[in-house]
Amino acid sequence: MKSSAKKRIIKFVITFVLVALMATISVVALSACGEIRYDYYVLTTADNGDGTLTVTACTVVKDKPVVIPAEYKGKKVVALGDGSKAVFSGCEFTTLILEAGVQTINDNACKNWSTLTTLELNEGLERIGANAFSGCTALKNITVPKSVTGIGEGAFENTAWYKDQPNGKIIYVGSFLYEFKGNMAPNTVLTAEDINADTKYISDYAFSDCSGLKNIVLPEGLEKIGASAFKGCTSLESIDIPTTVNHVGEKAFSGCTLLSTVHIPAGIGDISSEMFYDCCGLNNVDIGDGIKSVGDSAFENCVGLTTISLPGSVKSIGAGAFKNCVKLQTVNDAQNVETLGDNAFNNCIALTDCVLSDKTKSVGAGAFDNCVTVTEVELPEDAESVGAGAFSNCINVEKITIKRNVEKKVSLSFGSEAFNNCFKLSGVCVDDLAAWCGYSFEDAVANPLYQAGKLYVDGVETEELVVPAGVKAIGAYAFVNGGFNKATLPESLESVGESAFKGCLHLKNGGVAIASADKWCGVQFDDPEANPLYYGEKLCVGEQEIKEITITEGVESVGAYAFYNCVSLTKITLPKTISHIGGCAFSGCAFLDEINIALGEQPEDWDGEWNDFCGTEVEGGTKINWTGEKKIKLTTNTIMAIVVGGILVVVVIVLLFMWLIRKIRKKIRGPQKTEEGKKEVAATEEKPAKEEKKEEAIAEKEEKESASTKEKKAAPAAKKKAKKEE
């Protein structure tokens, strides 16, 4: 009974857990997906997270018209399909109606719906995606509302309507020039008369790969040219985009290799990505004032382009926008460009001047990589970042000028190897040395000084580096390879970044000047080459070279690498307030003979806190003196240690005393024990002999008794025998 009851309880618990789990899963699923139920069909919806819904699937019971509502329970239905799969897969009804307000039919939404015959689209619809109705083989009539502004590639491919359209002609859907169907004859010229006057939109891929198209005149009133509309029209020589056009899609003229002249009206707002990619014959571009940006790779590989003028309205040039324009020499009027994308002018080997305006804030990675004709670079005062390899391989750049606005205090960062292989760079010109100390360099080659070796401040070469008063930090690699004969650092200095003075070999000539040895002890150096003493070797306080330093009382620590490689130093005295000496504080001080530390004795944690990393490593032979009075602090722990130690000592003494007494007693009793031992041995030897004799006597007696007994037993037998014989 008990076993059966337990089993029932276990089954109940498992069932309860499974039901709860299923309920949880259902709640989670419903939070992502919902349903709109009608008498004959069910629509599955997805919540877009902004209060709107997208219909993603449909289940149909009867062949009745399916209506996609514009709203359901207070939420707008804005789209049909999720862009990846067909909504009506497996459905066999014939009529679809979209209520006014549904904005988008996404890619593939009604693809391969073979029973669809009637399609009703209403105002509010804005875009029909690629392949949206592709494969709807029974769909004969298509009417697109005026609100539609975009039709994707192949939206009506393989429909009954599409098959009915004549080959070799332009076909239209409402105000859309949908596409040129079939193969275009060579050297085709399309005039305005060849295109419907009410055409407002050219669909995506409308003339894609029409290699026979030589020229086309687009009608006034045209508003939009779709993505890849003329892509691969390898015979197209010129295009005049009407001023009424407000948008041109990406790759619209990509690969039009014979296109030589183009006018881009201001109304389009932006030059889209790859708009003229691989137009290798393009040599004349007129960009209207009002264009705000040049998209990524917009003119990439336009190898025939020699000059281009950018209106003042252009504020950004995208990644690779003019990459590999190997004949491009001049970019005019780019006075308001704020952002240059990665590789924007990469490999423009004929470009003579960098396209940097007074308002440029960001220069992308590789922006001017391999611009071998550029000889000078000037970064404006508002510049904030220079990307990795931005000027890499600019082998003829001789001068870099960096302007700063002291009042704005704009920080500036340089990416890895920003000036790699700038072999002819001979000078870096700055107008604010304090600002320079705060620049961020990702590595040594990010700093133009690495190649140049010479730093000019306000036009004057800096032979003796004097860091301005008030500077608290010097950034990593700040003065790498600088040709300074001497460095003077301010009392305000608190930290110096990694390898800040790496390669400053000439500092050996004049050394390093500081305002105060006490303050110097508190400077944080990130590594040995962050300290100018690494190369300077001698230390001056003011103008006075010092060999002996006395740090005044109150100073608590000597920072890591503080006197690293200070060859001139022979003696240093540290106060009793010192509590920490950083790693390698005195490393490389080859002539340091004596360190006096007024603590009285070496602290217990000398090998730990005081000697961290490679410690206060000094050259062999340096003597460390613990001067001053020894001070013992009788803390509670100290007193307890003394008491316990005393007790242990007393116990040890008592045990030792007892052991000695036992030793003495053993020596006194030694002879007596020897005599007694002999007697015991003799007694031991005699005892076996006596016992042996006793045993022999007993045995002899037993033999006699045995013989007597035998004789007594034998006598009657003999008598009896004698009688018989008689």
Q: What is the pLDDT of residues 241-273, one digit of tens each?
A: 999 999 999 999 999 999 999 999 999 999 999
Residue 662 pLDDT class (50, 70, 90 cuts)? confident
Sheet holding 440-441, edge to edge: 270-271, 293-294, 316-317, 339-340, 362-363, 385-386, 413-414, 440-441
Reported as a single tens digit per residue, the pLDDT across 675-726 is 555 555 455 555 555 555 666 666 666 666 665 555 555 555 555 444 444 4
- Residue 460, pLDDT score: 96
- Residue 605, pLDDT score: 65
Q: Which of 335, 336, 391 is nearest to 363 (CA)?
A: 391
Residue 643 pLDDT class (50, 70, 90 cuts)? low
Residue 18 pLDDT class (50, 70, 90 cuts)? very low
Residue with the bigger pLDDT between 701 and 107: it is 107
- Percentage, residues of the chain above pLDDT 90: 68
Residue range 150-176: mean pLDDT, rounded: 94
Task: Reduce the DSSP state of residue 289 to 3 states and report it.
Answer: coil
pLDDT at 465 over 80: yes
Residue 13 pLDDT class (50, 70, 90 cuts)? very low
Residue range 483-507: mean pLDDT, rounded: 97
- Residue 40, pLDDT score: 86
Q: In terms of C-beta density within 10 A (0-12 exposed, 13-18 middle, 19 or more buried), how is residue 56 classed?
A: buried
- Residue 39, pLDDT score: 86
- Residue 148, pLDDT score: 94
What domains sit in the chain, N to C, each tagged with a CATH number? 32-162 (3.80.10.10)
Residue range 537-543: mean pLDDT, rounded: 92
Counting every residue written for the chain, the total comes to: 726
Task: Reduce the DSSP state of residue 626 to 3 states and report it.
Answer: strand
Print burial letters for 605-643: b (CB count within 10 Å at least 16), e (below 16): ebeeebbbeebbbbeeebeeeeeeeeeeeeeeeeeeeee
Which amino acid is residue 488, in one-letter code? T
Residue 344, CA atoms < 13 Å, CB-side half-sphere: 25
Residue range 521-527: mean pLDDT, rounded: 96
- Residue 31, pLDDT score: 34
pLDDT at 12 over 60: no
The mean of the pLDDT values for the chain is: 86
Q: 247-248 and 270-271 as β-strands: parallel, antiparallel, unpaired?
A: unpaired
How far apart (Å, rounded) are the C-alpha atoms in residues 647 and 107?
A: 91
- Residue 92, pLDDT score: 86
Q: Which of 302, 315, 448 is nearest to 386 (CA)?
A: 448
Residue with structure tokens 């009703």? Answer: 120
Q: Which of 613, 624, 619 is nearest to 583 (CA)?
A: 613
- Residue 204, pLDDT score: 96
How far apart (Å, rounded) are the C-alpha atoms in residues 261 and 259?
A: 6
Residue with the bigger pLDDT between 9 and 501: it is 501
132 DSSP 8-state letter: S
Task: Kindly state the tokens that stand for 221.
Answer: 């009133």
What's the longest Cα–Cα distance across the chain?
185
pLDDT at 332 over 50: yes
The model scores a pTM over 0.85: no
- Residue 614, pLDDT score: 47
Residue with the bigger pLDDT between 92 and 159: it is 159
- Residue 16, pLDDT score: 45
- Residue 595, pLDDT score: 87
How far apart (Å, rounded) are the C-alpha atoms in residues 559 and 610?
A: 10
